[in-house]
Each structure stands twice: as C-alpha cells, then as structure tokens.
Amino acid sequence: MNALERLHLLQAGDLPVHGGRTLAYVYDGGDAEVDRVGREAVAAYAGSNALDPTAFPSLLTMENELIGFAARLLDAPDTVVGTVTSGGTESILLAVQGARDSRPDIERPTMVIPSTAHAAFHKAAHYFGVRAVAVPVGPDFRADPAAMAAVIDDSTVLVVASAPSYAHGVIDPVSEIAAAASAAGVRCHVDACIGGWVLPYAARLGRPVRKWTFAVEGVTSISVDTHKYAYAPKGTSLLLHRDAALRRPQFFASAAWPGYTMLNQTTQSTRSGGPIAGTWAVVTTIGDGGYLRLAGEVFEAVDRIVDAIAAEPGLRLVVAPDSTLVTFATDDSCDPFTVTDELVSRGWYVQPQLAFEGQPASVHLSVSAATRAHLDDFTVALRESVTAAREAGPVVVDDDVVAFIAALDPAALSDAAFDGLLAASGLVGASADGSLELPSRMAPVNAMLDLASTAMREALLVAFLDRLSRPSTGPAA
C-alpha cells in the first residue's frame, strides 16, 4: 500500500466532511465542483509562504481581496483594515493581544465578556494575562448589556459580544454593548466567527437580524471565520479592525537577531499559502450571489430542523435560533447524551454540551447548506433516536463515582490517579495490544463529566488528550 492509499484508509475512520450530516466541526456548501477548486488551490499553494509578501505577492493580493469582500459584508467604513489568520481562535487571540497592548499604562488589564463567549477568550486570557470578567447572560441567553456596562472599569481593555454565540446561536445586543464600551473609551470586539459570513445574507433574505456589524458605532473589531460559513478549506479566519491605528499593536517586528528582520501580523510567522489560496478560490467561485443562495438553503434547513424538534414531545428548543446553530434539550423521558449517541450511530454527528451555570445539558447542531438535501432523513433519525433513548432509560452514574469525583481536587491528583479515573470513567480503555481504545458510546462518559466541576472536566480531558498524544511506530516512523 502506498502512502496515499494508506491515507485514504485512515481517513475512512474520520467523520465525513461532506454530505451535510456532520453538524459540528465542518461546514458543507454541497457543491463538489467548488470543493475541487478549493482543494486544487490548497495543493497549488501548499509550499508557498505568506511570511513575506514581497516574496509571495500573489498571497498578499488574495488576502487583500478577501478582506475587501468581508469589508462589504460587514458594513465596514473606508478606513477598515484586516488580517487573514489561521482560524477563529487566532483572530480572537490577536484581538485580545492588540487590546492589551494598546493600553500599556494598565498594569492588570481585564476584558468584559458575556458568560456565553467562546472559550477562545479564556485561552486568550490565559496566554496574555488579561483577566476575563464573565458576566451572566439573560434568560434569553443573550448578553446583559447593563450588567456588562456596570463592570467596565479603569482596567478594562476590551468588551466582547457574539454574533451569534456558539452554544446557543443567539446574537448579543451589540449596539448597547458597543455603546457602553465606547462611552468608557474601550475597544469592542464582535465575535462573528461563526455568523459573520451568513448573517449578512440572512438579513438580505428578509430574516430578522439585529444590528451587529461595523454599522454599529463603537464596534472596533470583528472576527469572521472563512473556514466556517464561507465553506472554505480549513485554516482561515479574518480579523478586521475599524482603522489601521486599532490594528497597529498587533504587528510584531524583531531585528534583535542576526537573521532576517521578523515582521508578522499574526501569531504564526511562516504561514502556509494553502489555506489562503484555497479560501480565495472558494470565495471567488461561490461569489456574493452564490452565498445568498447558500444562505437560503441553510436557513430552509434550520427552519425544518426547528420544526422537527418542536414535533418531538421529548425535546425542546433551548432558544429560537438567530442564525444557523440549533440547540435542543430533552425532558426527563430521555437522556440528551443518549440521543446524541443514537443520532451519531445513524450517521448524524451532533455535539453534546454539558450542563453549565444552572442550564441542563443540551445538543448542538451547526447546520450546513448541504444539510437541506437530507431533512427527511434527519427527521426520521431524530424520531428514532428519541425513541431509542427513551427505551434505553436514564444514564446512571454510580453514586460512589459521583461522590469520589466531587471529593477530588484535580490540582492535587497524581498521574496514576488520573490513569485510574480515565479507566473508571470509560474515557480510555486498553485494547489487546496495549494501545488506547476510544469509547464507542459517549453517553456514560458525558453523564459523568456532566456531574463534574469545570476544573475536574478540564483536568480529566487534559489527562485524556495527554494519554492519546503519544509517539507510535507506524510506517512514518
């Protein structure tokens, strides 16, 4: 078997990227020709390096055209500038880093975020020493602008809103939040990583979309992921700033060594041209009219999925979606993690969300345009999954395990203790040859994690990833 044959064999064990049935992690526009163009562009530029725009000017051209396209979508003023990053997390990291470094006078900087803000903001807090002040959202899962305004103070370098939030798919009241930030002279970042490329088209289709773009005064930067609803290959997001002065602290230059003067506007230095060219090729091929049509398709799918959930007595929509993300919860008749496993076993990958701040566990669906072709199948799979979950009964976590986990301080646990916990939780088992085996059904694991503290969830999953990520002796070694 040659390398490519082996690669395809390995890939067969992964989630499908195409087909519209994988409702997290991937986004499918459903056009095989567009996908082919994207793949060819990635391949053609896989060896090119966007580190130096004078050496690879074609990549600079493509980046500037992508920012220009996004600027129109986001109602940006003529002063807008932007950067192509590797993904939503990097765009958010840079927004936080830039905000921090715009205020060197503040010794202990903070940022005010809604409690529903993406975990990438907590990562940025961790990396850059900017404390995140997370403000509880309202009963509609939208940020509470008055509560956020009340905690903006002299240490605040950034205020954040989502359009929409990942977990619930609703748009925060951006106008009020940005006004509060502006009144305090503080930057306001809108995380439109998942909504930025689709909400402008939703508005053009006549759907109700509250204001969230640069048209809102006080919004200083916006992140939008092209590797989500621009249906581009993985590896790009855009970070736009209202003007060049706002972006300036993001640049890094170093002549403090004997090599080339390093000059970067992202966390990466060498940057593959592949994702940039792939994104440019897909955006150019689909074009504005194509995205409008795809938005029509994805919202048709969203509406049908909402109806299918409403028609299931065991399920309830957590909140009416503002965008393309649907979240449902279950009643006592069926377990949400079992419904998840049952949908997965029927070829529908959906994502479980653990209980958080008084809200019960839920199930997340990022709907794609390509999902629309399979809605009858989805409705049947959902009905069957609820029935199967009802018949399977509740997932019972052993009382001793619950008490054990509640009593443990994750910070004080040894590696050996984590080995024991991982085995007891079912997260990892050992197969006959001694290698780790992933669980086939996640419901028992999720039920256990659901009862654990946030610190214990994080520690257990870190230990899990640590055990997975170990050298092996395949053909590459």
Ligand X SMILES: *Cc1c(COP(=O)(O)O)cnc(C)c1O
Q: Which of 86, 87, 96, 100 is closest to 117 using CA atoms?
A: 96
Residue type, 117: A
Q: Residue 11 burial (CB < 10 Å; 0-12/13-18/19+)?
A: exposed
Work out how close the CB of 207 gets to ligand X at its nearest, in angstroms, rounded to a whole number: 19
Q: Could you give the CA distance from residue 311 to residue 410 in angstroms, rounded to a whole number? A: 42
Helix residue spans in 31-173 (DSSP H) = 32-44, 57-73, 88-101, 120-128, 145-151
Is 66 a binder of ligand X (CB under 6 A)? no
- Taking the least distance from each CB to ligand X, the nearer of 174 and 193 is 193
Site for ligand X in 158-177 (CB under 6 A): 162, 166
3-state secondary structure of 134: strand
Work out how close the CB of 277 gets to ligand X at its nearest, in angstroms, rounded to a whole number: 18
- Taking the least distance from each CB to ligand X, the nearer of 225 and 312 is 225
Work out how close the CB of 237 gets to ligand X at its nearest, in angstroms, rounded to a whole number: 6
Q: Could you give the CA distance from residue 258 to residue 316 in angstroms, rounded to a whole number? A: 62
Work out how close the CB of 236 gets to ligand X at its nearest, in angstroms, rounded to a whole number: 9
Is 94 a binder of ligand X (CB under 6 A)? no
What are the backbone angles phi and psi of residue 296, rounded to the nearest 5°?
-60, -40
Question: Using the rule CB under 6 A, which residue among 93, 95, 120, 238 binds ligand X?
Answer: 120
- Taking the least distance from each CB to ligand X, the nearer of 116 and 338 is 116
Is 239 a binder of ligand X (CB under 6 A)? no
Question: Using the rule CB under 6 A, which residue among 89, 279, 340, 446 binds ligand X?
Answer: 89
Is 330 a binder of ligand X (CB under 6 A)? no
Task: Write the secondary structure of 176-196 as one string of H (helix), E (strand) and C (coil).
Answer: HHHHHHHHCCCEEEEECCCCC
Is 322 a binder of ligand X (CB under 6 A)? no
Site for ligand X in 361-390 (CB under 6 A): none
Residue type, 105: D
Site for ligand X in 425-454 (CB under 6 A): none
Question: Using the rule CB under 6 A, which residue among 118, 142, 242, 247 binds ligand X?
Answer: 118
Question: Using the rule CB under 6 A, which residue among 191, 312, 322, 342 binds ligand X?
Answer: 191
Per DSSP, 371 falls in state: G
Site for ligand X in 199-238 (CB under 6 A): 225, 237
Q: Could you give the CA distance from residue 160 to residue 156 in angstroms, rounded to a whole number? A: 11
The residue with its CB nearest to ligand X is: 88
Per DSSP, 26 falls in state: -
Residues binding ligand X (CB under 6 A): 87-89, 92, 118, 120, 162, 166, 191, 193-194, 225, 237
